[in-house]
Structure 1
């Protein structure tokens, strides 16, 4: 669902393609660029200490609609952002061959950490007001600094960090926790604490082992997965965009995937748009919000396969006790 603006906007699509990528002036192999996934993977690009990546872009706008519409001073902008570093780079795309708009945008490695988002925006003067957004790409590109394969959809990323003395200083306030879930970036992330419980990571990474180790592994995996799903759901429903009549707009990316996966268990029998509307009403107005937490916890447990893993752990313990007898 597209957001509704109180002025004329473009009906036609705005499409962006990455034509080529250069790493410190050297061409990036095109196997690192996936037009179907709309992802550029910069990790293991062949140059470990690279400083900047330059992306050559080609944008296509509904030019006939622009010519006949009520817009003046139309400008096409490419915007590169990353929430993790609060960085933003904007360049203007100029007229290219035919009706395309072309230009290059530079990603500086020192300004980015994990995954940047590349969007194309179309702004114009509307009703005498300059700089109004009249169109944008519906599916942005991802520029991934930590992946070697250009894949758009990823599972929750698990990162091992020293919460006490590691480089991520914000984790130090959680140094007694075995893990924390972080959902503010473009990809959810579970941070495992390497120093909170001695031997925990060895058990989590192990295969087989004693019945006790298997029980710990299953229970820890279930608990982290349930916490991750619950945190992702709450993040996905916070700060939803709404249209003019107050109807919440389904978010994109991993947030959309999480909501579509969990809403049938949170509010059974509802269409996703109806369920999203009711949840947003409860969250913003307060009524029935606390009662809904039980259903959110249940839905997160189902996605984490909590019952199955707990059953496996109990059976393993029971078999061990029977053998001991």
Structure 2
């Protein structure tokens, strides 16, 4: 995402790499680190009572820009954050040479419980002001304490529950709803109501052509609800830069915004669309008018038009030759 700063910054982007991971001094298996995904999986890590994780990191920044730019006292810091515990740690890295830094970032188990986001920033003195950020990694690493495999994004988890007579009392006020979408946590949840007769069976694709077409249509409506809910959750409470510019969030929230914003505000760049949506959502004017765009974008991602067309064609074929 493009950001505007009132002082010179790097045109090139710093790159962060996790080279090694150790858990209580023991090296993590290579299969639990994915460089293409920029993700680390720490699911149990062969032990449930680990105390600390040490991430060996390296950052490379454009060497020529750094040497020729209008700044001094250039340094690099690694920044680790977690939404679940509201922890933010900054670790200064040691210089290895022009445009190169390395070091170790330590994660203590009492401070983390879900997903840690690790990025890096290059800071310098610019126009006499020290500690100004002149470059940041465009894509952070994800360190997942619960995942068995290293992956950045989390797909919505679908569970089946009896909203009327099941063990989860908090679902009972929604007993007449076929499903409930919960986007309050770090993983979106979809609860299917088994007390709503036939929905779970249709979504599982059972029955003949008509039943399968109906199930596909219901699945599209459910997916549209999920995309809409995730979008609203993603634009709520965005983190801001010092100048008030909204930052694209990490994880599934950032993925949802990257996917939907081009359809919500097609005439704008990603950064412009994010700023516009944030402005409308926080200040009020224009937010109600934007709901039609959001609904359209969610329906498009859920393939509602295509599935509706297929369902209509299936019904037409089933009625061919039937007396009317």
Matches within 5 A, 1:19-58: 19-43=19-43, 45=45, 47-51=46-50, 52-58=52-58
User: What do residues 51-108 of structure 1 show as CA deviations (whole Å, max 9, x unaligned)?
Assistant: 2321111122335544444434433211111112212222221123675322111223
Q: Which residue of 2 aligns with 1:156?
A: 155
CA pair 27-250 structure 1, distance change in 2 beyond 3 A:
closer
Q: Which residue of 1 aligns with 2:80?
A: 80
CA pair 261-7 structure 1, distance change in 2 beyond 3 A:
closer
- Where 2:157 maps in the other structure, the secondary structure is strand
- Where 2:13 maps in the other structure, the secondary structure is coil
C-alpha distance in structure 2 between counterparts of 1:320 and 1:250, whole Å: 48
- CA drift at 1:41: 1.9
TM-score for both structures, normalised by structure 2: 0.72
C-alpha distance in structure 1 between counterparts of 2:143 and 2:217, whole Å: 35
Kept in 2, the 8 Å contact 1:3–1:242? The answer is no
- Where 2:151 maps in the other structure, the secondary structure is coil
Given the alignment of the two structures, is residue 290 of structure 1 paired with residue 288 of structure 2, yes or no? yes
CA pair 174-114 structure 1, distance change in 2 beyond 3 A:
farther
Q: Which runs of 5+ in 2 are unaligned?
A: none
- Where 1:85 maps in the other structure, the secondary structure is coil
Q: Which residue of 2 aligns with 1:299?
A: 297
Q: Which residue of 2 aligns with 1:180?
A: 181
- CA drift at 1:251: 6.8
Stretch deviating more after TM superposition (137-146 or 297-306):
297-306
Kept in 1, the 8 Å contact 2:154–2:251? The answer is no
- CA drift at 1:20: 0.5
Q: In structure 2, which of residues 206, 209, 212 is the aligned counterpart of residue 208 of structure 1?
A: 206
CA RMSD of aligned residues (A): 4.4
- CA drift at 1:136: 1.3
Kept in 2, the 8 Å contact 1:267–1:275? The answer is no
CA pair 317-40 structure 1, distance change in 2 beyond 3 A:
same
Q: Which runs of 5+ in 1 are unaligned?
A: none
- Where 1:96 maps in the other structure, the secondary structure is strand
TM-score for both structures, normalised by structure 1: 0.72
Kept in 2, the 8 Å contact 1:262–1:300? The answer is yes
C-alpha distance in structure 2 between counterparts of 1:48 and 1:161, whole Å: 31
Aligned length: 315
Q: Which residue of 2 aligns with 1:18?
A: 18
